Amino acid sequence: MIPISDRNPRSAGASPMRPGLYTGTASYKLDTMSVADELHPVLHAGRVAVITGAASGIGKAAALEFAKLGLKVAIADVDEARLAAVGKQLVEQIGEANVLIVPTDVAQIDQVTRLRDRVYEAWGEVAVLMNNAGIGIKGTSWEGLENWHKIFNVNVFGVVNVQQVFVPSMLHQENPAMIINTGSKQGFTNPPGNAAYNASKAAVKSLTEGLAHELRNQPDSNVTAHLFVPGWTWTGITGANGGAEKPAGAWTAEETVLYMLDHARAGEFYILVPDNETKREVDQLRIMWGAADIVEGRPALSRWDPNYKALFEEYMRDGLAQLD
């Protein structure tokens, strides 16, 4: 039982979650993956990348980057016109034989199955599977039920469909492979404003952690899973496709993808990407504050509760001073 004094918002008493006890940088590294780019067993020329949501933003940037590394690239998206445009760019870059353009709605299992069949028929393997398609339409707690269904069908069941269809085939390959699921910081910290999106990304965190554990415990598995958590990135979802200029605080999709690739190469599971506004230490402190809501018995989302405003600000100030 937590003593009442520790629940008082104005008490800054000892807490297991205070940053002073935080021991430093994350260390989820697999030594086998910490090798030079050209030697990496998965991310190297001649192998195969499959990317959903590849017609725009992060998925598009990833497709172009994989092509630059010499991988064959299969791109999938519901937006056929944009997908065709990205496909054209890729064909110019690496040639028709190395590009598959497969219009796909990830919410439809038959379309995902078709995507897998096209890739295995063409190239016989998958090295990198980027489960990236996502939507951010609004669904608040007691409104927008239809949007809740849409968001879960894409952001959650899209990921589940792709895993269910691809993982059994990937487990049969001898070559190592990786699955990169795109989550969100909103799935960790749950900021008020879009309950449906947050809940869908919390589900992606949960199911990707489960996937990583299951793969790790699968005899002879050569497949790893990674939770890619972009920072604020200037893409379709955040307004980029309307032609507006990138806000200073956001990263470009290319920056986010390059950071992701560096950390995937290093074998990290949680790939938490910063941006020009939010550095890693700020994310770390916010995540720990959210976890402390549970262990200290504070109100839900106390970070946005006026009674906790001063304490949260003090916590961030002290925490950053200690971590810097």
Strands 99-103, 128-131: pairing is unpaired
Q: Quick check: 132 binds ligand NAD (CB under 6 A)?
A: yes
The amino acid occupying position 19 is P
Residue for token pair 């470009």: 252
Structure tokens at 1: 């039982």
Bridge partners, 270 (sequence order)? 227
Could you give the string, one character per residue 101-120, with x where binding to ligand NAD holds by CB under 6 A and - elsewhere? ---xxxx-------------
| Catalytic status, residue 308 | no
The catalytically annotated residue of 22, 120, 197, 270 is: 197
In the three-class reduction of DSSP (H, G, I as helix; E, B as strand; rest coil), residue 38 is classed as: helix
Rounded distance, CA 86 to CA 109, Å?
23
Neighbours of 97 (CB within 10 A): 10
Q: Quick check: 232 binds ligand NAD (CB under 6 A)?
A: yes
Rounded distance, CA 129 to CA 320, Å?
36
Residue 133 or 207: the one with the smaller Cβ distance to ligand NAD is 133
Residue 58 or 127: the one with the smaller Cβ distance to ligand NAD is 58
Nearest by Cα to 33 from 274, 253, 226, 280? 226
Could you give the string, one character per residue 139-168, with x where binding to ligand NAD holds by CB under 6 A and - elsewhere? ---------------x---x----------
Pick from 235, 270, 308, 315: which binds ligand NAD (CB under 6 A)?
235
Task: Please count the residues of this chain forming the interface with ligand NAD, following the rule CB under 6 A.
Answer: 30
Q: Quick check: 283 binds ligand NAD (CB under 6 A)?
A: no
Q: Quick check: 133 binds ligand NAD (CB under 6 A)?
A: yes
Neighbours of 195 (CB within 10 A): 19
Binding site for ligand NAD (CB under 6 A): 52-53, 55-59, 77-79, 104-107, 132-136, 154, 158, 182, 184, 230, 232-233, 235-238
